[in-house]
Structure 1
Amino acid sequence: MFSYDFFLSRRGSVGDVAREVADVLAERGYKVLVQDYDFRLGDSVIDRMHDGVKNARDLIVLLTRDYEQSAFCRKEFTSFEAQRLSSSEERHMIILRCDDVQPEGLFADVIYQDLVGVQDREERKQRIIAAAERQTLAAPSPTRSFLAVPPRIPCFTGRDDQLDRLDAILTHEKPAVVTQAVGRVAVQGMGGVGKTSLAIEYAYRYRNLYAGVCWCPAETRASLIDALAGLGVALGQSRADQSDPEKVAKEALACLALQRAPWLLVYDNVASPSEIVELLPSAGARVLITSRFFDWTGLADEVGLATLVPDEAAAFLQSRAGREDATGARALAGALGYLPLALDHAAAYCKRTQMDFAEYAAKATNLISTVPRDATYPQSIAATFDLAISEVEARCSAAELMVGFLSYCAPVRIPIYFLQTLPDKEEAIAALAELSLIRHDPFQDGTPAVTIHRLVQAVARRRTEAKGAAETTMERVKEGLSMLPPPRERVGLFGALRDIIPHLRPLPHQRVLWRYQFEHLTKKFTDNADKLDHAAEKLGAAGHPDKAKTAREKAAELREKAARLSKIKFGSS
């Protein structure tokens, strides 16, 4: 139930029109929130804006030439659009055109009426009422492509400043990087801080500003090329050699320059600028990059992302877990360092097991104290994932093999057919997905696949290695990567390309597996060398110098082998 029927958003130049609109609608029996009447001296403008956006059914924008130049106005209509898209209630944005300016972007296809040049008071009144009753002069809404964008996160919380900054860089300001021909922005931050979640929310909240949105997993070059080739199919371009996916991808980027309105391309989880510099559009698009890499100078504007502030972290926990426990949520958020990925998994665990926030915080604190100092991920991540993996293994024994298998793959889409040799595959996938350890993420051609966060993989690998199961698990992965994709009917102009791409999908996973095999062997050589050095010390102390010398020579030989293996480089695929 809404407190108001309408909230009027405007610049100060049309104060008289705002009063006119409010009077007409009030006479009609509507409840209207207007700055002139309802924002009292001493009120917080931001608080009243928040009240209007949240508690008014519809937003009426009095559109003038300078409307979008106001940060407050942009905040009002973009926040309302975000609320509208996530609401189960029917809500609308309505435009009353007060200057001779064409509605564009989010305004292009919404309800609108025209007051420009209309002097007759009765005619103006009828147009205001027509707008309020959703009679529009707007053209039918155009079809907008939304390619491979992950599902919106229902409990997304906070990050308003960062979303506003992305909006400003990509759609409102000239690029700060003077060498850019198109707007590009890189969202930077450590693993688990919520870079991908922010990009997903931006894509949904601002989708109507773009002709289309294409989500491109960019952990590896192969996955980025695959996504861009899919974009080429969507754009209907056909001037490429179908047997060469990279050529198809570059043709798709060139085709963007011919589009009437810009696209948004999201390059998710880029390792470094050098990985994508040859795969960026020269025109016709805006590019949103997420990356742990720290320096994008000369290629993109930068937006840093830190952990959530305490109040946002506590609010997220309560929303995600579906309960009200502010005290417990604050304690748990603090224990996990306010890291979004850790908070998400903790809330999923508490919801699934009905555990109190305080009890989970105590368990997590104990686990954090046992995390190895050389771990390559935050301690809060180790604690939350250890609890989640232990819980899922207790409920489904096949899940232990499954998460171990997935931990030795590349952190990109993993086709389900790789998992054919694992027992109780469907049950294990369902159990892991329930606790948010994996996510269903099919390829654009419909091939079922899952994704797993690299930090979940790191914790799962540590557990697998601690159980002495690393070698057998890697053998299972090697067998899985040899599985052929299921046959299917070849259709369409790009049938040949779509037949080739599935056979390329094992390549990034194979490269990652080789790296882990070499790392495992290197560690094995080093551990055995340490044991031989320790034995040599004991043999020397016991009066066996010759045996001690032999042990030291064998240890040196193993260390030399380990050093040679460690020099082998595995770049991105």
Structure 2
Amino acid sequence: MTEQGRTGAATAPEHVLVVFPGYHRPWAAWIAQRLDLQGIRNTLQRWDPPREVPLEDSLGDLLLARGQVLLVLNDWFFELGPRPAGEWNDVLRGFVAGHADRFAAVNLTNRPLLPATAVLEPVSLWGIGEEEAEARLLSRLGIEPRRSASRRVQHGSLVRYPDTPPEIWGDVPRRNPRFTGRDDLLTELQQRLMDAERGNAACTLLGMSGIGKTQIAAEYAHRFSPDYDVVWWVSSDDRNVQRDRFGELSAVLGLPAGSEPGERIRAVREALRRGDPHGKWLVVFDGWDDTKDAEVLLPHGPGHVLVTSRNRGWGEYTDILQVPSFDRAESTGYLMRRAPHVTAPEADEVAAEFGDVPLPLVQAAAWLGESRMEVPEYLRMVREGRLSTVDEPAAVDGFPHASLTSWSILINRLRRSQPQAVEILSLCASFAPGRIPLGIVRAYPQAELPEDLRWMTTDLPSWSRALDTLVNFSVLTRDARGPANELGPHQESVHMHRLVHDIVSRLTDGPHRAAHRKAIRTLLAEADPGNPMDSRHWPRYAELLPHLEPSGALESHNPRVQTAVLNCLRYCYRSGEYTAGARLAEKIRACWSAFMPPLAQPMLDLTTQEGNVLRSSGRFREAHQLDHALRERLTQDAPVNELGVMLCGGAIASDLRHLGQYGEAETLQREVLDESRRLLGDTEFVTLVARFNLGLGLRLLGRYQEAYDLDVETLATRETVLRPRHANTLNSGIALAQDLRLLGRYRDALARQESNLKMHVQVLGPLHPQTLKARAQLTLCRRREGGFQRDIGAMMATALDQLEQVHGRGHYVTLAFINDYGSFLREHGDLAQARDLINEAEAGYRSLLGPAHPFATGMLSSTGLVMQAAGERADALAMLEASLAGLTASLGPDHPWVLGCALNAGAARNFNGRVADAAELSRDALRRARHTLGGEHPLTLSCQIALATDLRGLRETEEAGKLEEDALLTLTRTLGAQHPHTLSARQRIRPYWDFEAFL
């Protein structure tokens, strides 16, 4: 800096007008705060002087403000308008030099500025630390730093120094140095997010393809980055990639989440909601057109959410900001900056030709700038030129027809000047649009590539040159994870806009396309990690999944490719992506059925995985039809595939259990277990699964002691063979705690489940689906144990919220817990919410499983108890009698669920004055309960107390007294004198039974 620059201002200015292009808002905001801390009044002025207004007049308008005018400069500043460099030099040497005492400047670039800029004596802030930058700024303005300013900083809200990025900066696209205009739209977007209600600051940029939504979102993230501590970008073209990318934020935030995508997503949403560890966050969902996952993924909290989409349905979830085409000044300004030889009238003509739509304008500007072609010739080619080798592509989504011809011109030129760039384009067209893992071409040089592509694995300079050309022509953008200088070509990804992909696919389709698609599916197979059970590989599978169909991998006869396809399906099942898995399985089956025998091993594996996905998503009938048809084929085949028949039998047994056919399921499951022991041995993984499933079936049949005995054995074997921390071993622990609770051994169940849940959290994470199952089981154990009643409600509400996030509100697992929570609320007097929840669960089960399913029938008992508590005694009696009759017909008179329904129906008869009928039902229920559950089971004792109540109503007081006294003594001995069951019996409160659906 010159001596004049250091001392030019004798005194500190009373006011500073900070003039900046919108691109440099972060610097302007930082400068304004530095001046505020020194007590200097200042005003921010975003500046983009209209080209038609003389530059001297625009600069003169700035001098209307009092004090100093500080220009925030870089090479971009002098392209505003844009204007010829000569005009700027003339004004700087004339008008600005004549008012040198009013103008000052800072420089943010190390690139050369116009020579005449020296008159502004700019101080450089490029590449220096914050303290030095502040010192230079204040010195240039003649401001003596105040010591007290540093103390005030501690109490204010600091603007981050622009060269200091947010603490977390996640995969945001590189800033476009040619970003043009949109200043008003960006300002409005920021204002809407800032003014939104806390917890619901979400806005969708809505517009057609090619309108620039992604570019605006990226510019917003860069321009307003000092306002955030976390900026996280989520590409949303593909649902699996979207969920995986959003879930990756959990690790970056240091959250104690496991590896399952749904678990990580829930952890992220909860952390963002709390604002812990960061309250100032921005999450961008780019290209999110399907709103059905909005309630599961969309975060709420103190931060901001930005969505880009073509779907107007986002208005239901977020604020909507419509993205228009460029205004004409933005269009012409961009064209003239990118192609300096283009005049203003010519730029206006090109902009009109393309309807001011950004994407085709970007391509046109790139063509004109790179080729230096004159505009009349270019427009003649656009308007008249046709390629005889391709069909005329139809305009789509409001895209200007003229731009399609423009793309044809570009690709024709590249064919002549750089054919390798066209080969990369053709290869990209064999992937899906969006993020393309192009680096796998170089990562697996051993893959067999067609002759025209082999150069890609050996000629790095040509690879880099061709990619640079495509990026320069705005056909592709680089989309590498992490710093570019840390990634090799084998890790490189690119991004191709879906509209560009559609156009390029048609314009490059030719004799090589089939070979290119074959090469891509071969590369996808090479990139398959080979172990979809390992959650560390899930990000890779999420990346490969979108490209299976466009590459033709689903139709491939290559066994290696078929294995990769099945592994992607296994990934969907293991990661909880059931909807995507079901769609993928349908597509695979449609393709493979055309050329593969139904009993070929890949088809058998497909059926196994498809059945798993269907059952996990609650589509039990479809799973049963699928498995049953396969078993029929297997049993008719010769020679018989014994292992296949056995595995298919296990799947059918699982289907039958879900469909409520418990007896048939048990018979088949025993056959499967015997066969597995014969074929594989007692300790093989498949055998242990069959044994666990038999225990589950016994539990559903109400044979709790048998289930417990078998589960004890299974747990012990799994602890030896699989080790205590294996997920299947932990699941056996849940089953054993459930057995103990259903046997009435509440203290033992609670003690076991508390330790089991701790192990789940340690091994699987606090929000893994199996951990949530363990947590739900713990809430039921604590409720029955009786010592945690004050905390149970909050625990159950939290568990229900987490289950809903994992499975959705209508999933059978969630419905079961909705019923459990409703029963708890009814017991504690919140009848309105209890009724809503139980009605929801009953309707859900009826819709999912049909009215005759034991779950749907048992739910009538829950509904009847709510009616009874509300004083609707006649309706309650009808409902409870219906539940008793339905379950008796389907399960038999001795099932514990039937005995519980008899307990409730007896009470309803008594309350409706039918005391003799009540006593008859209570006596029969007690007899059956003693036989089925034993004399000390809590349900048996409840039947005994109920009978005593009915006998007192019939004035048979002696027998009633003996029954009541015996029950009280047993309850005191088994559950304790202060247990709620014991206290209720002592107070002669009629007992009831809560239906519980479980699997």
Q: Is TM-score (shorter-chain normalized) higher than 0.5?
A: yes
Aligned pair in 2 of structure 1 residues 451, 485: CA closer, same or farther (>3 Å)?
farther
Contact 1:185–1:302, Cα closer than 8 Å, also in 2: yes
Distance 1:512 1:75 in 2: 49
Aligned pair in 2 of structure 1 residues 307, 165: CA closer, same or farther (>3 Å)?
same
Question: Paired residue for 1:345, among 363, 377, 400?
Answer: 363
Q: Please report how far the alpha carbon of residue 372 of structure 1 lies from its aligned counterpart in structure 2 after TM superposition.
A: 3.9
Query: In structure 2, what is the equivalent of residue 163 of structure 1?
Result: 186
Q: Do structure 1's residue 217 and structure 2's residue 235 form an aligned pair?
A: yes
Q: Please report how far the alpha carbon of residue 281 of structure 1 lies from its aligned counterpart in structure 2 after TM superposition.
A: 1.2
Query: In structure 2, what is the equivalent of residue 405 of structure 1?
Result: 427
Residue identity matched to 1:479? T
Aligned pair in 2 of structure 1 residues 365, 516: CA closer, same or farther (>3 Å)?
farther
Distance 1:302 1:309 in 2: 20
Question: Paired residue for 1:483, among 523, 526, 531?
Answer: 526
Q: Please report how far the alpha carbon of residue 513 of structure 1 lies from its aligned counterpart in structure 2 after TM superposition.
A: 4.3
Q: Do structure 1's residue 229 and structure 2's residue 244 form an aligned pair?
A: no
Q: Do structure 1's residue 423 and structure 2's residue 423 form an aligned pair?
A: no
Contact 1:403–1:460, Cα closer than 8 Å, also in 2: yes
Aligned pair in 2 of structure 1 residues 261, 87: CA closer, same or farther (>3 Å)?
farther
What's the secondary structure of 1:290's corresponding residue? Answer: strand
Distance 2:476 2:323 in 1: 23
Contact 1:188–1:290, Cα closer than 8 Å, also in 2: yes
Identity value in percent: 23
Q: Do structure 1's residue 381 and structure 2's residue 403 form an aligned pair?
A: yes
Q: Please report how far the alpha carbon of residue 34 of structure 1 lies from its aligned counterpart in structure 2 after TM superposition.
A: 6.1
Distance 2:211 2:271 in 1: 34
Residue identity matched to 2:224? Y
Q: Please report how far the alpha carbon of residue 153 of structure 1 lies from its aligned counterpart in structure 2 after TM superposition.
A: 1.2
Query: In structure 1, what is the equivalent of residue 11 of structure 2?
Result: 28
Query: In structure 2, what is the equivalent of residue 437 of structure 1?
Result: 475
What's the secondary structure of 2:325's corresponding residue? Answer: coil
Distance 2:74 2:258 in 1: 40
Distance 2:335 2:245 in 1: 33
Contact 2:21–2:47, Cα closer than 8 Å, also in 1: no
Distance 2:337 2:144 in 1: 38
Counting matched residue pairs gives 438
1:494-513 correspondence runs (5 A): 497-513=535-551
C-alpha distance after superposition, 1:213-250 (max 9, x if no partner) = 1111111112212322332222122x2222x2332233
Question: Paired residue for 1:174, among 178, 193, 196?
Answer: 196
Aligned pair in 2 of structure 1 residues 90, 324: CA closer, same or farther (>3 Å)?
farther
What's the secondary structure of 1:413's corresponding residue? Answer: strand
Contact 2:210–2:359, Cα closer than 8 Å, also in 1: yes
Q: Please report how far the alpha carbon of residue 341 of structure 1 lies from its aligned counterpart in structure 2 after TM superposition.
A: 0.9
Distance 1:252 1:191 in 2: 30
Contact 1:184–1:288, Cα closer than 8 Å, also in 2: yes
Q: Please report how far the alpha carbon of residue 59 of structure 1 lies from its aligned counterpart in structure 2 after TM superposition.
A: 5.1
Aligned pair in 2 of structure 1 residues 59, 284: CA closer, same or farther (>3 Å)?
closer
Q: Do structure 1's residue 453 and structure 2's residue 469 form an aligned pair?
A: no
Aligned pair in 2 of structure 1 residues 110, 311: CA closer, same or farther (>3 Å)?
farther
Residue identity matched to 1:318? M
1:18-417 correspondence runs (5 A): 27-28=10-11, 60=32, 90=106, 129-131=143-145, 136-137=150-151, 138=153, 144-171=167-194, 173-175=195-197, 181-237=199-255, 239-242=256-259, 244-256=260-272, 257=274, 258-323=276-341, 325-367=343-385, 371-373=392-394, 375=396, 377-417=399-439
Q: Please report how far the alpha carbon of residue 458 of structure 1 lies from its aligned counterpart in structure 2 after TM superposition.
A: 0.8
Q: Please report how far the alpha carbon of residue 507 of structure 1 lies from its aligned counterpart in structure 2 after TM superposition.
A: 0.3
Q: Please report how far the alpha carbon of residue 303 of structure 1 lies from its aligned counterpart in structure 2 after TM superposition.
A: 0.6
Q: Please report how far the alpha carbon of residue 202 of structure 1 lies from its aligned counterpart in structure 2 after TM superposition.
A: 0.8
Contact 2:199–2:302, Cα closer than 8 Å, also in 1: no
Contact 1:322–1:351, Cα closer than 8 Å, also in 2: yes
Residue identity matched to 1:501? P
Aligned pair in 2 of structure 1 residues 358, 154: CA closer, same or farther (>3 Å)?
farther
Distance 2:133 2:175 in 1: 25
Contact 1:186–1:290, Cα closer than 8 Å, also in 2: yes
Contact 1:371–1:379, Cα closer than 8 Å, also in 2: no
Q: Please report how far the alpha carbon of residue 362 of structure 1 lies from its aligned counterpart in structure 2 after TM superposition.
A: 2.1
Q: Please report how far the alpha carbon of residue 452 of structure 1 lies from its aligned counterpart in structure 2 after TM superposition.
A: 1.1
What's the secondary structure of 2:305's corresponding residue? Answer: strand
Residue identity matched to 1:412? G
What's the secondary structure of 2:434's corresponding residue? Answer: coil
Uncovered stretches (5+) of structure 2, i.e. residues with no partner:
50-68, 78-104, 109-129, 136-140, 155-159, 443-448, 457-462, 557-589, 595-999
Residue identity matched to 1:461? S
Aligned pair in 2 of structure 1 residues 312, 87: CA closer, same or farther (>3 Å)?
closer
Aligned pair in 2 of structure 1 residues 399, 335: CA closer, same or farther (>3 Å)?
same
Aligned pair in 2 of structure 1 residues 277, 423: CA closer, same or farther (>3 Å)?
farther
Aligned pair in 2 of structure 1 residues 499, 85: CA closer, same or farther (>3 Å)?
farther
Residue identity matched to 2:454? P
Give the stretch that moved more between structures: 257-266 or 450-459.
257-266
What's the secondary structure of 1:270's corresponding residue? Answer: coil
Distance 2:206 2:475 in 1: 23
Distance 2:386 2:72 in 1: 37
Aligned pair in 2 of structure 1 residues 289, 81: CA closer, same or farther (>3 Å)?
farther
Distance 2:375 2:168 in 1: 41
Residue identity matched to 2:343? D
C-alpha distance after superposition, 1:533-556 (max 9, x if no partner) = xxxxxxxxxxxxxxxxxxxxxxxx
Contact 1:331–1:358, Cα closer than 8 Å, also in 2: no
Q: Please report how far the alpha carbon of residue 266 of structure 1 lies from its aligned counterpart in structure 2 after TM superposition.
A: 0.8
Aligned pair in 2 of structure 1 residues 368, 219: CA closer, same or farther (>3 Å)?
farther
What's the secondary structure of 1:129's corresponding residue? Answer: coil
C-alpha distance after superposition, 1:312-368 (max 9, x if no partner) = 100011112344521221111111211111111111112222212332222222248
- Greater relative contact order structure (CA < 8 Å, 6+ sep): 1
What's the secondary structure of 2:285's corresponding residue? Answer: strand
Larger helix percent: 2
Larger radius of gyration: 2
Q: Please report how far the alpha carbon of residue 300 of structure 1 lies from its aligned counterpart in structure 2 after TM superposition.
A: 0.5
Aligned pair in 2 of structure 1 residues 368, 397: CA closer, same or farther (>3 Å)?
closer
C-alpha distance after superposition, 1:375-408 (max 9, x if no partner) = 5643243123222222222223233332122123
Contact 1:381–1:455, Cα closer than 8 Å, also in 2: no
TM-score (norm 2): 0.39
Contact 1:207–1:213, Cα closer than 8 Å, also in 2: yes
What's the secondary structure of 2:143's corresponding residue? Answer: helix
Contact 2:437–2:493, Cα closer than 8 Å, also in 1: yes
C-alpha distance after superposition, 1:142-167 (max 9, x if no partner) = 75322111111112111122111111
Q: Please report how far the alpha carbon of residue 299 of structure 1 lies from its aligned counterpart in structure 2 after TM superposition.
A: 0.3
Distance 1:182 1:109 in 2: 37
Contact 1:317–1:347, Cα closer than 8 Å, also in 2: yes
What's the secondary structure of 1:296's corresponding residue? Answer: helix
Aligned pair in 2 of structure 1 residues 77, 438: CA closer, same or farther (>3 Å)?
closer
